[in-house]
Structure 1
Amino acid sequence: MMPEPPAAPRPRGTGWLALASVLDVDSAVRISGVGLDSRRIVPGDLYVALPGQATHGARFAAAAVAAGAVAVLTDAEGAGLAGDLGVPVLTVPDPRSKLARVAAAVNGWPATQLLMLGVTGTTGKTSTTFLLEAGLAAAGKLTGTIGTIGFRLGGEELPAVRSTITTPEAPDLQALLALLRDRGADAVAMEVSSHALALHRTDAITFDVAGFTNLGRDHLDFHHDQEQYYLAKRRLFTDGRCRRAVVNTDDVWGRRLVDRLRTDGTPFRTTGSTPDADYRVTSREPLADGRTRLRLATPSGEHAFVLGLLGEFNVRNALTAAAMLDCAGVELATALAGFATASIPGRMQRVPLPGDAPNVVVDFAHTPESVAAALASLPGGPVTAVLGCGGDRDRAKREPMGEAAAGAARLVVVTDDNPRSEDPAAIRQAVLAGARRAAAETGAEVLDGGDRRSAIRMALRRTGPEQWVAILGKGHERGQDIGGVVTPFDDVAVAQQEWAAIRQGGGHG
C-alpha cells in the first residue's frame, strides 16, 4: 500500500542539503526537500521509495523523477524495480530508518528551535494536547499543535490534506515543524502514535517533555500483541528521545515504564490518584455550568483551577498536561488558567440543540476502555449510547466495545462507524453480540440502528429531555468510509439536522 498523501503543508524557501552530510552514501546529490508520495514531489526533492503492503514505492519512481525528483533513496529490492531513471538511485538497507534524519536536516532541524511536548497513550492524547495548547497560550506562547484533529497554530487551523493519520510521516512532520517555526511558533504540542514510533517518524526529534497517558487495547492488527504495542510506546522515552517524562502511574503499563526510566536515569514525574503521585487532585467541586473546580497537588505546592472539559478521564488528562507544563518550565499558575476555556472538537463535545432536547455529546471513543470512560463521565440519569466499530481494523475489540456500552448505558443503538471494505451489517453483528451479552446482566436495551444517520435519529427519539445521548466513535471526523468511498458525515451536524426534523414532526416517540 502506498503511503497516504502528505497531511502537512511545506514551508517556503528551504535551502539545499548535501545528502552525503546526513547519509552514508557516495553521492554529490543536493536536495531541497524529501517526499514519499510521487504525486506530491516537487523539483529538487529526494524521492524515498519504501516497500509497502501491496506494492513497492519504487514502482512509482519514474513518476517522481518526471515531477522533479533529483535522486531516489530505496532498498535493494527497490533499486532493482526502479531501473535506469537518469538520476542517482541510492541504496540503503532500511531507508525508512534514515528518513526522519534526512527530513529534519533539509528543513534546518526545526525541532531544536521549538519547545517540543509529545504525548503518547491509547487514549487522552488529543485532549492532553489541546490542554497543553490552552495552557501555553495562557502563558503567552504561540503554540502549534499536531494530531488526529489536524494542525493548528495559535488556535487557528492550518490548511492541510485531511487524513486519519495521527502523527504525519517524517517528511510531512519535519516540513510542518519548519513551517510552524517560520511563522513564529514558540512551542509545539503533538500527539505521538505507536505507529509513528514503530515506523521511525519522530526519530529526529528530542522532546523536551514526553507524556504517557495510559495503555489499553488498540492497534493490535499492526502491533500483533499488547507487549509489542507497549514497546512501541516506550520508544518515546528511551534512547534519548525525551529529556524529561511525565507518566500516569495509575496505569499498570505506566508503572512498568517508570521502572525503565529509573534504570535509564531519565528524569520523570508521576501523575495519579495515589498519595505518592507527584501530581494529584486533592479536591474537586462541580460547577453549575458543567465545569469542575479542582485543587492540584504538585511538588512545588497546591494550585486551584477550573477545568472546562467534561469527564473524569479529562481530569487525568489535565493532570498530565499540568505536569508536562510544569516540567517544561512554564509558570504553572498562569498556564492552568487556560484550562477553564479549553474545548476539543469531537472529544466529549456538547451539541447545542433547541427545545426539550436530550443532552448530546460527540466523542471519538473507539476502544472498550474509552467507551466505558466516556459513558461513565456523564452526569446521573439514563444514558443512550450510539456506537459503531471501524472495518479493516482490530476485529477482536468489537464485542468488548459492545459490552462496555451495555455495561454503562440504558439503551445501546449499534450502528456503522467507517466500515471501509467490510460488510457493515457483519461488523454491527459483532458489536451487538457483545452488547447483548452484557445486557443480560445489566438490563440494557440493545438495538441494531442500521446506518449512522438512522441510528442517531433513533437515539434522539428514544431519549427524553435532560437525559444524555453519547454518539461515539467518529468524533471530529467529517466523512464516512463505506466500501472505499468517503462521503461527508459530521456527527454534530447530523444530530442537529435530525433533531430539527424530529421537532418538525412532533418531538420524541
Structure 2
Amino acid sequence: MKVNVSEQPMPTGRRSASPGGTQQDRQPAIRPARVDPVPLAEIAALLGLPEDGLEDAPAVTGVTLDSRSVVPGDVYFALPGASRHGADFARQAVEAGAVAIVTDPDGAQQLALSETSADVPVLVVDAPRAAVGGASALVYGTQRGGGGAGVALLGVTGTNGKTTTTYFANALLRALGHRTGLIGTIEISAGGEPIPSRLTTPESPEVHALLAVMREKGVSAASMEVSSHAIEFGRVDGVRYDVVGFTNLTQDHLDLHGTMGDYYAAKARLFTPERADRAVVTVDDAWGRRLAAEAPIPVTTLRTEAAGPADGTDTADWTVTDARRSGVGTAFELRHADGTALRVRSGLPGGFNVANAALATLLVLASGASAEEVQKALDTDPFTVEVPGRMQLVGTAPAAVVDFAHNPDALERALDAVRPEGAGRLIVVFGATGQRDQGKRPIMGAVAARGADVVVVTDDDPHDEDAGAIRAEVIAGARAEDAGQGLGRRIDEVAPRAAAIRHAVSLAGAEDVILVAGRGHESFQEVKGVNLALDDRLELRAALAEHGRPSCRTGRDSRLQARTH
C-alpha cells in the first residue's frame, strides 16, 4: 500500500544513511516499558496523508531510523543518506517486525523494485526527516513538555557552557526535591540511573523514547543540552521545552553553518513558540542581545559581565554583582531590576562558571520555583557538583586541570580561569580537530600564546586529515602572536597526545599549572577512521605519577586555591 503527499524540503545539511545489519548486529533500543498503541491512520493524518485503507493496519508502538533497532510494532523511517538510502535496509526492518515504512519518493521506488512495499504499508512524503519528530512525540506521548504532564523540561544552547549549565540546573533541581533526568554529551540519566546510548546526540525517536522513560521512572524535571547540530538535523523536532536558555555564541561549527549569521539562525530556531514556552538569555555578547530582542517568546535577560557594552544597551532583568573568591570558585549575587537578590556560589573556577551558575539558577526560577524556594536550595551549595572533563582537577602540585575548551573563546576563558598567582607558570596542552572549522586553528594558537607561558601543540581528533598539517596551522598562529607581541613564549610541538601530556608534566614545577584542553571527558581519539583509547584525565594522572607528583581523583581540592584565581 502506498500513499503520497508533497512537502517543503528540509534545509540542506549532512545526512547519514540509516544503517542496516543482520540479527547479530542488532542494537538495543531505548524504549519505555509501556506504550499505548497508536493507529497507523493517526500517523498518516499527522503527515497530511489520507487515512483511507489504513483502518486495519497494525497499530504502532515505536519509531526508529535504524533497522538494527527495530522491534515489533515499530514504524521504520527510511531516510536518504550521504552514501546509502534507508530503503536499502527496509527488508531487515520488516523482518524484525516493522509494521510500516515512511520514506521519500526515491525510497518508495527502491522498495517497489525490491517488492518490500508489498509486505507493509509504505507512507511516502517528500521530506520524511521533517516528520520523524512529530511522529515520535505522538507514539511516545511526549507532545507536551518533557514526557508529559508534570515533567519540567529545560533546554540549554550556546557555543560554550551547555554541559556545565545542565549539570548545575539538575543539581539545583535536586536540591529543590525533584527527581531529575539529563540528556547531554557526557551522560544520559533518569532519576540518577544512567541510560546507555549509542549516540552522543540522540536522534529524535531516541530523544522522545528517553523522555517517556523518564516519565515512567517518576522524573519530575529534566535538563537537556541542545546543540546547533541537533537543531539543524531535526534531532529535537517535536520536543517542547518549558524553558530554554542561551549561554553565548562564539566561532565554532562554521564547517556546518558557513557563517556566524547562519550559526545564530540555527540556535534562534529553538526560541520559538513551537519549541518553548519561555527563555532565559545571557546578553553579555551581541548575539545574546539580538536573540533577546528577536525571540517571539517571553524572555528573561541575564548580564554576567562586570560592565555592559559600550553602546549603552546594558540593561538586563538580572545582573551578576559582588563576585568574590570562595575557595576555588566564586560567590556572587544575582540581582533583579526590582531589587530582588539571590546569593549564589559556583564551586568551579572561572568567570564562565559564574555565568553558567547564574543561567542555571534563572532557568530553574523560570520553570516555576519561587525565589524563596530557590534561595533555600542555593544555600545547600548545589553548584559544587563535579562535571566530568570541565575544569576537572587531576593534580595538585603542579595543579593539573582537564577542560573541554575546544574553540578560541573557551580556550581563552579556561586559560584565564587557571592562571597561577605568584611565580608559577601556565602550561597548556591542546590541539585542533580535523575536518572542522579550519579558520579557528591559528586563532586558537594565538590565544594560547597570549594566555600561557608554555604552549604545547599536539593532536585533538584528526579524523581523516593529516595530523601534522593541523598542528602546523595551530603553531603558525601561536608563533605569529608570540613574535608580533614580543611575548617570549616557549612553543613546542609534541605528538602523539599522550606524549605531549607527559612532556608538559616534565616541564612543570610544583607551583605551575598545567591545562590540558580540548577533549575533556572524551575517552577515544579518532584517527583515520579508527577510535584509539585516549582519556586526558588518565594520561595526565599517569604522567604525574611517573614524575612523583601528587594527583587527586576528584575535581575539588582546596590546594588548587593557592594556585588559581
Same fold (TM over 0.5): yes
The counterpart of 1:410, out of the listed 446, 453, 461, is 453
1:450-496 CA-partner distances (Å, limit 9, x unpaired)? 10100000111112113111111110111111111112211111111
- The amino acid across from 1:220 in the alignment is L
Partner of 1:133: 170
Tell me how far apart the structure 2 counterparts of residues 437 and 155 of structure 1 sit (CA, whole Å): 48
Task: Give the alignment of 1:283-294 within 5 angstroms.
Answer: 283-287=322-326, 289-294=327-332
2:47 aligns with one of 17, 23, 45:
23
In structure 2, the partner of 1:67 is 96
Q: What is the alpha-carbon distance in structure 1 between the residues aligned to residue 436 and residue 28 of structure 2?
A: 21
After superposing the two structures, state which structure 1 stretch, 292-301 or 250-259, moved more. Answer: 292-301
Q: What secondary structure does 1:277 align onto?
A: coil
Q: Is contact 1:7–1:172 with CA below 8 Å preserved after alignment? A: no
Structure 2 residue aligned with 1:2, among 10, 17, 26? 17
The 1:208/1:159 distance shift into structure 2, 3 A limit, reads: same
- Are residues 103 and 436 of structure 1, via their aligned partners in 2, closer, same or farther at CA, if it must alter by over 3 Å? same
Bigger Cα displacement from structure 2, 433-442 vs 465-474: 433-442
Q: Secondary structure at the match of 2:183?
A: strand
Shift of the alpha carbon at 1:315?
Answer: 0.7
Amino acid at match of 1:363: D
Letter in structure 2 aligned against 1:335 = A
Contact map agreement 1:282 1:295 (CA 8 A) in 2: yes
Paired letter, 1:327: A
**Residue pairs, 1:386-405, within 5 angstroms:** 386-405=429-448
Secondary structure of 1:395 counterpart: coil
Q: Assess if the C-alpha contact under 8 Å between 2:155 and 2:241 holds in 1.
A: yes
Superposition map of 1:237-386 within 5 A: 237-261=271-295, 264=296, 266-272=297-303, 273=305, 274=308, 276-287=315-326, 289-298=327-336, 299=338, 301-330=340-369, 331-337=373-379, 338-352=381-395, 357-380=397-420, 381-386=424-429
2:126 is paired with a residue whose SS is coil
Q: Does 1:122 align with 2:138?
A: no
Residue 235 of structure 1 pairs with residue 269 of structure 2: yes
Equivalence map 1:400-439=2 (5 Å): 400-439=443-482
Identify which of 129, 136, 147 aligns with 2:184.
Answer: 147
Q: Which of 130, 150, 158 in structure 2 is aligned with 1:97?
A: 130
Q: How many residues align?
A: 494
Find 1:461's aligned residue among 498, 506, 519: 506
In 1: Cα distance, 2:383 partner to 2:229 partner: 32
Match of 2:86 in 1: 57
Look up the match of 1:507: none
Q: Which runs of 5+ in 1 are unaligned?
A: 505-509
CA distance in structure 2 between the aligned counterparts of 1:334 and 1:8, rounded to whole angstroms: 40
Counterpart residue type for residue 347 of structure 2:
G
Q: Paired residue for 2:13?
A: none
1:170 to 199, 204, 220: 204
Q: Output the amino acid matched with 1:53.
A: A
The answer to whether the 8 Å contact 1:209/1:243 transfers is yes
Q: Is 1:49–1:73's contact at 8 Å kept on the other side of the alignment?
A: yes
SS at match of 1:111: coil
Matched residue, 1:11: 32
For residue 336 of structure 1, report the CA deviation from its aligned partner.
2.2
Q: Quick one: distance in 1 between partners of 2:61 and 2:265?
A: 34
Report percent identity of matched pairs: 43
Which has the higher Rg, Structure 1 or Structure 2? 2
Is the contact made by 1:38 and 1:47 (CA closer than 8 Å) also made in structure 2? yes
Q: Give the Cα separation in 2 of the matches to 1:471 and 1:41.
A: 41
Equivalent in the alignment of 2:247: 213
Over the residues paired in the alignment, what is the CA RMSD in angstroms?
1.9
Structure 2: 5+ residue stretches without partners: 1-15, 20-25, 309-313, 550-565
Q: SS state of the match for residue 341, structure 2?
A: strand
Instruction: Please state whether the residue corresponding to 1:270 is helix, strand or coil.
Output: strand
Residues 189-234 of structure 1 show CA distances to partners (whole Å, capped at 9, x for unaligned) of: 1011111112222231221111011111111111122111111100
Alignment match, 2:8: none
TM-score scaled by structure 2? 0.84
Q: Distance in 2 between matches of 1:153 and 1:467?
A: 40
